[in-house]
A and B are shown apart, each in its own frame.
Chain A
């Protein structure tokens, strides 16, 4: 913290460093997975694979905006992480209630069980972190 003027806490500092790292990891994982699926087996489950791609884009946006940590990027991060939370809850619930709709796994299937439920925990931590680093009004 500088002594010159109160500045908004940076979303990329301290614990935020770890958050950005984990978001980056999921950006890489989800995009690679979607890339492989869309390129090799699109016809098998177009909805599931497109959802993988959407998840990948959301993770990329969250990674970049949390790392940039400007006022605008905080707003974009809030939207991206909000979409992420809604996405993992919706896809997670649908994949449990109606497995036939998701014949192939996505990052968000069964609330991210294939990734140790990190996809479910991550948006919650992201939102808490944005709140914690909120600039003074």
Chain B
């Protein structure tokens, strides 16, 4: 894990959350640019997770290894799951689903930052 990348994930997933809430309030389903943005954010979380797992494989031991692995895998599955669930019925609520996923990735990444300290 790289701190700078983690802060980027926090900012970008915050963007997913805000954008989802904005379209929900406006009463529209998420637009194309919004969905592409979420896909891009997912790629950044994927990079974060791969780097984290590589770090663990090379012997880095954070405070709670099992929890860290859980969070690393969690942040990478949430956006795709929300993406598909939100778009299988496209309403304003799709944006709220995206916002929930964004907020979760944000919170989990902040938690990862506190966990990612050598034991």
Contacts and interface: CB of A to CB of B under 8 A. Distances in A.
A13 interface: yes
B74 A32 contact: yes
Interface in A28-86: 28-29, 32-33, 35-36, 39-40
A69 to B, nearest CB: 12
Interface stretch (B30-38, B39-47, B49-57, B87-95): B87-95
Contact of A36 (B66, B85, B100, B104): B66
Contacts of B100: 18, 21-22, 25
A25 B99 CA distance: 12
Interface string B64-78: 001100100010011
A21 B85 contact: yes
Contacts, number: 44
A21 B67 CA distance: 22
Contacts of A21: 82, 85-86, 97, 100-101
A29 B89 CA distance: 24
A32 B85 contact: no
B89 A13 contact: yes
The dominant DSSP class at the B interface is helix
B19 to A, nearest CB: 16
Contacts of B86: 17, 21
Contacts of A32: 70, 74
Contacts of A24: 81, 85
Contacts of A17: 85-86, 89, 91, 93-94, 96-97
A18 B93 contact: yes
A6 interface: no
Shortest 7 CB-CB distances between A and B: which pairs?
A: A36-B66, A32-B70, A21-B97, A17-B93, A18-B96, A21-B100, A18-B93
